[in-house]
A and B are shown apart, each in its own frame.
Chain A
């Protein structure tokens, strides 16, 4: 088949998303276009996150993300072009997480050419200087400090750090404070030179632009960027098996919080869909089991559950914030009673139907505008297979009540858990 734009090969179409490859440098391109929209968006996802860091330079991915707004060779005085786009009304930012870093802009569609040029310039020509590292470090510190003010975030960091001993999911994306302070500009430059290449990135374009126009722009601006001169450094550390329950405490001013993290498999494991549905049945709406058990009875003021499908095996985390007069042990006992109920009796068909309905609405929400679409797509790109964006909702719908009972039995175990108690102190 003849290429729509020479030099860019069509790879596949899954759902309404089309994948292409820039032949010269291996850049992956995803298009989800809607010509009727007056708005468009572009995002570059780099396959580098805090899982690619080690002791001494934790938080580097994130610090580097901040420095990527300090200008490029082509756009030296306009924060690499961000100033220009922001002045046109663009919603723009970057985020860093465990498996990826993404840079995005949402704008009136006519500004796509500039945004594409800006992102291509940032890919290899960012100005990464010691002067900017020095000035940006306290800004990142303050971001770290904001997180430390939040008791649940502090407990979450501790649970991950305890659940993971070898794998870099051990440390949070923001990193340890001393690493943020001391990492050298040379290390950050090396990080940039290791990972910021077209063959380690995906460019996604969504919204009101034509297919050929989008591909032409990508070819024009990203085409000249060379592929990496050496292989992208692999992250080969695997977490050794956990041999028993782990427990940690924090004593600090704040409310009382009970937290627990259960080891779960990676995003591509066949059990992941059932685990996500288990999470939806446990928590997420007012009929869910934990809401009824804890909020409806006024035992707790908040229940949060996170089961993010990640590139590597991760955690299903539950945090329960509760009132004076209730104990951590009581909350834990009640939670495990709910686990036992699912493990022994399973969930009802009605619960599964409810969870499926919520999957349908959540799937729709991921399509509500350019930002929602890019943001959701980004997380699937980060797992290493963007087609999950299309296939995973189907996998969720295929989950049965027996699947949920089975994964509850397999993963909600003490031996593979890390329990954290935030022992709140009053003012």
Chain B
């Protein structure tokens, strides 16, 4: 394939514990930013994890300089968006704006991260909203099945084990302002990641971003100690929810590796051959959907690798209640068949070409580029990885991909599903 070297130029600044990446794209009037600082729910005891989630919700609810309404009016008046989210290890931010407002948005991000005041009334409203959202999840088949799978895969105190709805509500209702303030004091610039792409002058932006983010305190967040990865015995968890026409179904197992593992790339390619891509290039779509007509969609994916812990492998599919059992049986049968004889040299070569094409297509948008840069930074890779990735894919051997099957022991697959099950 031609054009594989037609990749964007990225400017980088690593300073004072911060990593800043910027790249110009040809889309006019558009700038996307994303980034994060260390400090997520894993730093807290399980029953206090909601402190991080509430803090995230309140970061733009008023600062020493601006009230909540002033902050929002400021953003709206320039057509910009800014949102925060929280993962296990990090507090993330995402923003979009017009080119002339980048500096102002970075300052606002810094203001929210550093000077939030967490008004008592906003804390109360945030808790009320959160509890309402958790209660809604009880009837959401996708969310309930996801939590069920991850609880089946991870032992009680593992950072990746999510709280169930009742635990999350209990944690949320117990949050006090003092908890939020104390947690906020730990956050800072050490480990900060900032990526920006779009209609920008990358060099200038890195200079101003460095200046503004340097205003953040150093921070005192230490990374959560990763527990020794082990697998739990396989489980089957069915979450009954009335009145549902469709059952969200997950089959998965822990990989026991982290993204730093030398087998990670082969593992991802294996998953793509098994259940990635569209109808044509994933084995599960070709068989469970196209051949058997059992589902509208099925895919295999890797999850929970972002925080430095071992992540897991999963297959997600949706089935009507009447074909649920057959669907699950077929998943197992097809994974076994694929692992047995499905990884052929021809399919492997085709998959590599597909991934290279996808990479080029993905990086051709501002959004795709900023997301790719953020992933590189989160995985603590050198920026050369952006350009090396095609070479790494090309160099991968079929033997390495076959070896990655060992990361998915079929006899240890757990099943989690939510919906209305046929009697």
Asked if A and B bind, the verdict is yes
B27 touches A361 (CB 8 A): no
- State whether the Cβ of A409 lies closer than 8 Å to any Cβ in chain B: no
B76 touches A285 (CB 8 A): yes
Chain B hits for A137, CB < 8 A: 293
B320 touches A86 (CB 8 A): no
- State whether the Cβ of B6 lies closer than 8 Å to any Cβ in chain A: yes
Among B106-114, B182-190, B259-267, B275-283, the stretch in contact with A:
B275-283
Chain A hits for B294, CB < 8 A: 138, 142
State which residues 110-143 of A face B: CB under 8 Å: 110-111, 135-143
Chain B hits for A144, CB < 8 A: 245
B354 touches A254 (CB 8 A): no
A323 touches B246 (CB 8 A): no
- State whether the Cβ of B306 lies closer than 8 Å to any Cβ in chain A: no
- State whether the Cβ of A8 lies closer than 8 Å to any Cβ in chain B: no
Chain A hits for B69, CB < 8 A: 287
- State whether the Cβ of A237 lies closer than 8 Å to any Cβ in chain B: no
How far apart are A34's CB and chain B's nearest CB, in angstroms? 7
Chain A residue nearest to B357 (CB atoms) is A89
Against A, the Cβ 8 Å flags (1 = close, 0 = not) of B219-254 are 000000000000000000000111111101000000
- State whether the Cβ of B14 lies closer than 8 Å to any Cβ in chain A: no
Against B, the Cβ 8 Å flags (1 = close, 0 = not) of A70-106 are 0000000001001100111111110000000000001
- State whether the Cβ of A357 lies closer than 8 Å to any Cβ in chain B: yes
- State whether the Cβ of B343 lies closer than 8 Å to any Cβ in chain A: no
Known: A149-B141, A149-B246, A253-B243. A361 touches B97 (CB 8 A): yes
Chain A residue nearest to B29 (CB atoms) is A364
B77 touches A353 (CB 8 A): yes
State which residues 286-328 of B face A: CB under 8 Å: 289-291, 293-297, 318-320, 323
Among A18-26, A35-43, A50-58, the stretch in contact with B:
A35-43
How far apart are B406's CB and chain A's nearest CB, in angstroms? 27
State which residues 134-166 of A face B: CB under 8 Å: 135-146, 148-149, 151
A361 touches B279 (CB 8 A): no
B79 touches A107 (CB 8 A): no
B1 touches A110 (CB 8 A): yes
Chain B residue nearest to A151 (CB atoms) is B139
Chain A hits for B367, CB < 8 A: 368-369
- State whether the Cβ of B15 lies closer than 8 Å to any Cβ in chain A: no
Against A, the Cβ 8 Å flags (1 = close, 0 = not) of B56-80 are 0000100000001100110111111
A286 touches B76 (CB 8 A): yes
Against A, the Cβ 8 Å flags (1 = close, 0 = not) of B163-186 are 000000000000000000000000
Among B43-51, B125-133, B147-155, the stretch in contact with A:
B125-133
Among A215-223, A334-342, A419-427, the stretch in contact with B:
A419-427
A139 touches B30 (CB 8 A): no
Chain B hits for A106, CB < 8 A: 361
Chain B hits for A354, CB < 8 A: 73, 76-77, 79
- State whether the Cβ of A108 lies closer than 8 Å to any Cβ in chain B: yes
How far apart are A35's CB and chain B's nearest CB, in angstroms? 11
User: Which of B98, B126, B132, B291 has the most chain A CB atoms inside 10 A of its CB?
Assistant: B132
Chain B hits for A135, CB < 8 A: 290-291, 293
A364 touches B30 (CB 8 A): yes
Chain A hits for B297, CB < 8 A: 142
- State whether the Cβ of B386 lies closer than 8 Å to any Cβ in chain A: no
Chain A hits for B126, CB < 8 A: 298
- State whether the Cβ of B350 lies closer than 8 Å to any Cβ in chain A: yes
B76 touches A89 (CB 8 A): no
- State whether the Cβ of A414 lies closer than 8 Å to any Cβ in chain B: no
User: A359 to B359, alpha carbons, bound, how many Å?
Assistant: 30
State which residues 77-95 of B face A: CB under 8 Å: 77-81
Instruction: Give the residue of B26, B278, B296 whose beta carbon is less than 8 angstroms from that of A146.
Output: B296
A148 touches B361 (CB 8 A): no
Chain B residue nearest to A146 (CB atoms) is B246
A142 touches B132 (CB 8 A): no
Tier of interface size on chain B: 35 or more
- State whether the Cβ of B207 lies closer than 8 Å to any Cβ in chain A: no
Chain A hits for B28, CB < 8 A: 364, 367
Chain A residue nearest to B319 (CB atoms) is A142
Against B, the Cβ 8 Å flags (1 = close, 0 = not) of A274-309 are 000000000001111000000111100100000000
- State whether the Cβ of B336 lies closer than 8 Å to any Cβ in chain A: no
Chain A hits for B78, CB < 8 A: 357
Chain A hits for B320, CB < 8 A: 138, 141-142, 145
In the complex, how many residues of chain A place their beta carbon closer than 8 angstroms to a beta carbon of chain B? 77
How far apart are B32's CB and chain A's nearest CB, in angstroms? 9
Chain B hits for A370, CB < 8 A: 364
- State whether the Cβ of B353 lies closer than 8 Å to any Cβ in chain A: yes
Chain B hits for A149, CB < 8 A: 141, 244-246, 248, 419
A301 touches B136 (CB 8 A): yes
A286 touches B72 (CB 8 A): yes
Known: A139-B296, A142-B319, A361-B97. A301 touches B245 (CB 8 A): no
B138 touches A69 (CB 8 A): no
Known: A91-B358, A364-B28, A424-B139. A109 touches B243 (CB 8 A): no
Known: A357-B79, A368-B30. A108 touches B1 (CB 8 A): yes
Known: A87-B281, A143-B296, A253-B139. A109 touches B3 (CB 8 A): yes
- State whether the Cβ of A321 lies closer than 8 Å to any Cβ in chain B: yes
Chain B hits for A39, CB < 8 A: 360-361, 364
Instruction: Give the residue of A88, A301, A353, A369 whose beta carbon is less than 8 angstroms from that of B354.
Output: A88
- State whether the Cβ of B333 lies closer than 8 Å to any Cβ in chain A: no
Chain A hits for B365, CB < 8 A: 368-369, 371-372
Instruction: Give the residue of B26, B73, B289 whose beta carbon is less than 8 angstroms from that of A36.
Output: B26
User: A321 to B132, alpha carbons, bound, how many Å?
Assistant: 10
Chain B residue nearest to A359 (CB atoms) is B79
- State whether the Cβ of A247 lies closer than 8 Å to any Cβ in chain B: no
How far apart are B290's CB and chain A's nearest CB, in angstroms? 8
Chain B residue nearest to A326 (CB atoms) is B132
How far apart are A322's CB and chain B's nearest CB, in angstroms? 8
A86 touches B278 (CB 8 A): yes
- State whether the Cβ of A252 lies closer than 8 Å to any Cβ in chain B: yes
- State whether the Cβ of B10 lies closer than 8 Å to any Cβ in chain A: no
A138 touches B293 (CB 8 A): yes
Instruction: Give the residue of B1, B77, B125 whose beta carbon is less than 8 angstroms from that of A297.
Output: B125
A361 touches B1 (CB 8 A): no
- State whether the Cβ of A228 lies closer than 8 Å to any Cβ in chain B: no
Known: A139-B289, A286-B76, A427-B241. A90 touches B361 (CB 8 A): yes
User: A87 to B351, alpha carbons, bound, how many Å?
Assistant: 7
- State whether the Cβ of B376 lies closer than 8 Å to any Cβ in chain A: no
Chain A hits for B97, CB < 8 A: 361
How far apart are A362's CB and chain B's nearest CB, in angstroms? 9
How far apart are A55's CB and chain B's nearest CB, in angstroms? 22
A298 touches B129 (CB 8 A): yes
A38 touches B132 (CB 8 A): no
A361 touches B29 (CB 8 A): yes
A87 touches B280 (CB 8 A): yes
Chain B residue nearest to A91 (CB atoms) is B361
User: A298 to B133, alpha carbons, bound, how many Å?
Assistant: 10
Chain A hits for B72, CB < 8 A: 285-287
A-B contact pairs, 10 of them (CB 8 A): A38-B364, A89-B353, A92-B278, A108-B3, A108-B361, A142-B297, A146-B246, A148-B245, A252-B243, A425-B243
* A-B contact sample (4 more), CB < 8 A, given A86-B354, A295-B129, A426-B139: A39-B361, A301-B129, A323-B128, A427-B241
Q: Which 5 A-B pairs have the closest CB atoms?
A: A89-B357, A357-B79, A323-B132, A369-B365, A364-B29
Question: Which A residues form the contact surface with B (CB < 8 A)?
Answer: 34, 36-39, 69, 79, 82-83, 86-93, 106-111, 135-146, 148-149, 151, 252-255, 285-288, 295-298, 301, 321-324, 350, 353-354, 356-361, 363-365, 367-372, 424-427
